[in-house]
A = this chain, B = another copy of it.
Amino acid sequence: MQRRGLLVILSSPSGAGKSTLSRRLMAWDPTLKFSVSATTRAPRPGEVDGREYYFRSRAEFEDMVAAGEMLEHAEVFGNFYGSPKGPVVAAMEAGRDTLFDIDWQGGQQIRNSVLGRDVVSIFILPPSIAELERRLTTRAQDAPEVIAARMEKSLAEISHWAEYDYVLVNSDLDAAEQELRTILTAERMRRDRQPWLNEFVRGLNREFEAR
C-alpha cells in the first residue's frame, strides 16, 4: 500500500531564497511535484501558461473558487492567486509529494483544510534585513519606492513565521538545502505515512504463528 503524498509548503519573504531552494529540492528529488499556481495577473514576457502560472481571467478564477477547485486563494496587489486542488489530490493519491511556493495566506488556508494533516510547512528567514534588501535590490531594477513597498510586504510575511512547523535561517544555500532534505526525509518516515507497515507487521505475526 502506497503512502499518501505530502503537501510541502515553503514560505518566505521575497528575497529569502525560497525559489532557489525550491528548484534545488526539485532537482534533488524528481518525484516532487511543483504546485503551479493560477493567477489573474497578466503574463510577463517569457512566462508560459501552465509553467510559471495558469493564467486565468477573473471570471474563470472565480468559477474555479466557486466549484471548490482551489485549495487556497488570496488577493495580492489587486490580483488573485490560488493553488488548484486537482493536481495536488492526484499527486497525493499517487504517493507523490507536492511542493508549494506560496505565502502565509495560502499556507494558513491549506494547513486549516481537510488536507492539513498531510502538510509539512517550512518558513525560510533571511539572515538579516540588510541581506534581504540587498537581494531585493539586486534582482530588480526598480524604483526605491517599489523596493520600499516590497520590504514592507516582506516584514508582513515574516510576522507569520511562528505558524510553520519548521523555520530555517537561510544564511548559506547549501546548508539550507541540506536542512530541507533532512526535514523531508524524516517527515516521510513518520509511522502514519508508512501504510505498508500494517501489512509488514501482519506478515511478522503470520510468520510467528507458522513456526
Chain A interface (Cβ < 8 Å from any Cβ of B) = 123, 125-126, 128-130, 133, 151, 155, 158, 161-162, 164-169, 179, 182-183, 185-187, 189-191, 194, 197, 200-201, 204-205, 207-208, 211
Pick the most buried of A128, A162, A167: most chain B CB atoms within 10 A of its CB: A167
Please state if B155 and A208 are interface contacts (CB–CB under 8 Å): yes
A164 contact set on B, CB distance < 8 A: 191
Q: What is the copy number of this chain in the assembly?
A: 2
**B194 adjacent to A167 (CB under 8 Å):** yes
> If A125-B204, A128-B207 touch, does A166 touch B183 (CB 8 Å cutoff)?
no
* Bound CA–CA A207/B129 (angstroms): 6
Instruction: Kindly list chain B residues whose C-beta atoms are within 8 Å of the C-beta of A201.
Output: 125, 158, 161
Say yes or no: B191 contacts A167, CB within 8 Å.
yes
For A166, what are the chain B residues with a Cβ–Cβ distance below 8 Å?
186, 189-191
Q: Bound complex: CA of A191 vs CA of B162, how far in Å?
A: 7
